[in-house]
Structure 1
Amino acid sequence: VSVLFLKKHFTIIGLACVLSVPAVDAGAEGFAINEWSAEGVAMGGARMFAENDAANIAYNPASITKVRGEAFKQSAVYISPHGKYTAYDATGKSIDEGKNVVHAGWAPGNYYVKQLNDKDWIGVGLFSRFGMISEFERDSKVASNAFFSRLNGASLTPTYARKFDNKWSAAVGAEVNYVGLELQKNAFALGGVPTGL
């Protein structure tokens, strides 16, 4: 069996496997942050193969091999989401609606990449993958679930990447995540009167 034959069929099988994987929305109920650099937001997230961009650690770690020499990036993206809600009873009837105040905030990112030689690169990133502050009116019917939620997150990603040729590179690394969650909710006594918590 020729190498060309195997290469051709391996490529076709690999492409078929990738295309057969169902698309998954990793929005995590709105908690996921994909705004890892201001430049990435301006480019609509198309940073997968960006040249000389240390933020590739967050987007595609194997592509840090496109950094020549050293690269350092600090970035902060201002995120200002808005929301509304409608609550329904067991029969599907609307029983409450209002505004979900999703507080604005900054998503910082710090990235450093160093080229060691023609084949090897190292890098580290410190950025947010998750974060949100959400607040409902305290007297709303949904306040027993949580009228205030704060989710903070930080990811530290030391990375090593190797370039095999002009087309192929791979990366390996670790991701250490910190996640902090605060919830405030009303406790309802018998009869549905909020007692406060």
Structure 2
Amino acid sequence: MSSRKPRCKPLTTPLGLFAVVSTLLCCESASAGGIMVYEAGQEGAGLANAGSAVLATDPSVLMTNPAGMTRLKGTQVNANAQVILGAMKFSRDDGNTFDGGNGGNPLPYLPGSSLFITHEVNDRASIGFGMYGNFGLAVDYDDDWAGRYFTQESALIGISFQPTFAYKITDALSVGIGPRFVYGYFRTEVAVNNNPFGLLDTPDGQLRYKDTDWGTGVNVGLLYQLNERTQLGLDYTSKVKLEFSDSPELKHITNPVLNFALNRLDVDSLDLDMNIPQTATFSASYELSPQWKLLGSLGWQDWSDFGSIGVQVDSNAGGTSRSVDRQYKDTYHVSIGAQNQIDSHWRWNMGLGYDSSAVDNSDRTVDVPMGDAWRFATGVNYALDKDTDLHLSYTLIWMGDMSTEQTKNSNGQSVSGEYRNAALHVIGGGMVWRF
């Protein structure tokens, strides 16, 4: 998310280069961003992340606390799928100065899947592997909407591949570690105003940018059995740096000033550096009875580090580098939940969670419209037999009304409005096989 008035402050920049970059890039605010998604189709999705670092019921625990693998017997496989359905329609207000519509629903759906495998080497050690996507967001507005000069389409997706090792130090204490290899995909499309002063009736041009990169990090966890009814868990994931570098594709740029600057500078590449935030989660569970278990989590995510995005344009005529600060701030998470083991086959999950916003209202942007989020989740797990489980879950992520206003530095024009009753619906499910 960029600030209300996107900033591109050159450290060293020729005048012509600044004209190109400020016109083509600042209007997009170096578009990049994402959200941390707790849901990956696993059974724990029905708990709104409550107890995620102690919920060692299937192999997906290697994503939320690798130490939990030591609680799993034999060889187990967990395959999941999910879809995120968005309801985030934008509504213009009187502060909007651009023509165009409201953009439609920018997030109609976003599918995902995950796969986890664990193997008990002996009564102390376990190994595992996970492939999952728990980071990212994608928006796709109508091309002619009022905010097209800030974004038409933006997507940032991260897929993690995590080999994992866990060891039971004592009967009560386990540790786990897994390196994360993250494949990042970034794509953006933004309209370019060929007629910035409104003197001519000239169709828009467009800037397109797409690239992929690999980043590395680590997932470390501790799991402690305090007594026969209480478990405590702590999980930490390090930041993962992604470096995107590719040539922006420019289409139908008819403004002679822009064409002159581009021809003179022969722009080669646009570099965008960003960090998937480091996180820390503490969880606890308490078994009230053989039927009921209470769970809770407290979490922190380092979004302030993600908000400083390096931008560099290389050209034959010189170069410039700058930092676009999106005014992100760290976020905090709290959740509570419960599990009800109804009988030998059915287990019912329910949870309530809250995440603070990574931006203030004045800094919200249309490429990543994000705010405070409440999670209302529920799900069921059904044991088909002693070696096979089936689970389904539903989560409502409620963000409510989110106002936004972004202003172009060049002429002071703004896109202004509100996302009313914004929400995400997450439906997921999967199976667990034990061998």
Q: Which residue of 1 aligns with 2:161?
A: 156
CA distance change for structure 1 residues 51 and 38 in 2, over 3 Å: closer, same or farther?
Answer: closer
Q: Tell me how far 1:87 sits from its aligned partner.
A: 6.5
Q: Which residue of 1 aligns with 2:36?
A: 32
Task: Return the alpha-carbon distance in structure 1 between the equivalents of residues 148 and 161 of structure 2.
Answer: 34
Q: Tell me how far 1:71 sits from its aligned partner.
A: 1.0
Which structure ranks higher in relative contact order (CA pairs < 8 Å, sequence separation ≥ 6)? 2
Q: Tell me how far 1:95 sits from its aligned partner.
A: 4.4
Q: Which residue of 2 aligns with 1:41?
A: 45
Q: Which runs of 5+ in 2 are unaligned?
A: 1-31, 207-435
Query: Secondary structure at 2:171's aligned position in 1?
Result: coil
Task: Return the alpha-carbon distance in structure 2 between the equivalents of residues 83 and 134 of structure 1.
Answer: 10
Query: Secondary structure at 1:65's aligned position in 2?
Result: helix
Task: Return the alpha-carbon distance in structure 1 between the equivalents of residues 60 and 134 of structure 2.
Answer: 13
Task: Return the alpha-carbon distance in structure 1 between the equivalents of residues 56 and 177 of structure 2.
Answer: 20
Q: Tell me how far 1:121 sits from its aligned partner.
A: 0.8
CA distance change for structure 1 residues 130 and 51 in 2, over 3 Å: closer, same or farther?
Answer: closer
Q: Which residue of 2 aligns with 1:82?
A: 87
Task: Return the alpha-carbon distance in structure 2 between the equivalents of residues 88 and 177 of structure 1.
Answer: 40
Q: Tell me how far 1:100 sits from its aligned partner.
A: 4.2
Q: Which residue of 1 aligns with 2:67?
A: 62
1:125 equivalent to 2:130? Answer yes
Given that residues 34 and 156 in structure 2 are in contact (C-alpha distance below 8 angstroms), is that contact kept between their aligned partners in structure 1? no
Q: Which residue of 2 aligns with 1:142?
A: 147
Q: 1:186 aligns with which of 186, 191, 216?
A: 191
Task: Return the alpha-carbon distance in structure 2 between the equivalents of residues 108 and 57 of structure 1.
Answer: 15
Task: Return the alpha-carbon distance in structure 1 between the equivalents of residues 107 and 134 of structure 2.
Answer: 17
- For residue 159 of structure 1, what is the amino acid of its counterpart? T
Deviations 1:34-81 (A, max 9, x none): 212341222333343234410001111111111111111000112112
Q: 1:196 aligns with which of 200, 205, 229?
A: 205
Q: CA RMSD in A?
A: 2.5
Q: Which runs of 5+ in 1 are unaligned?
A: 1-27
Task: Return the alpha-carbon distance in structure 2 between the equivalents of residues 60 and 86 of structure 1.
Answer: 41
**When the two structures are superposed, what TM-score results if normalisation uses the length of structure 1?**
0.74
Task: Return the alpha-carbon distance in structure 1 between the equivalents of residues 203 and 89 of structure 2.
Answer: 22
Q: Which residue of 2 aligns with 1:12?
A: none
CA distance change for structure 1 residues 103 and 31 in 2, over 3 Å: closer, same or farther?
Answer: farther
Task: Return the alpha-carbon distance in structure 2 between the equivalents of residues 38 and 160 of structure 1.
Answer: 20
Structure with more helix by fraction: 1
**When the two structures are superposed, what TM-score results if normalisation uses the length of structure 2?**
0.35
Deviations 1:73-106 (A, max 9, x none): 00011211221335689xxx34477244213122
Task: Return the alpha-carbon distance in structure 2 between the equivalents of residues 32 and 194 of structure 1.
Answer: 37
Q: 1:170 aligns with which of 175, 180, 185?
A: 175
Q: Tell me how far 1:165 sits from its aligned partner.
A: 1.8
> Which stretch of structure 1 is more off in the superposition, 48-57 or 170-179?
48-57
Q: Which residue of 1 aligns with 2:265?
A: none
- For residue 186 of structure 2, what is the amino acid of its counterpart? L
Query: Secondary structure at 1:118's aligned position in 2?
Result: coil
Given that residues 83 and 102 in structure 1 are in contact (C-alpha distance below 8 angstroms), is that contact kept between their aligned partners in structure 2? yes
- For residue 59 of structure 2, what is the amino acid of its counterpart? A
Task: Return the alpha-carbon distance in structure 2 between the equivalents of residues 144 and 94 of structure 1.
Answer: 12
Task: Return the alpha-carbon distance in structure 1 between the equivalents of residues 92 and 173 of structure 2.
Answer: 51
Task: Return the alpha-carbon distance in structure 1 between the equivalents of residues 173 and 149 of structure 2.
Answer: 53
Task: Return the alpha-carbon distance in structure 1 between the equivalents of residues 147 and 168 of structure 2.
Answer: 52
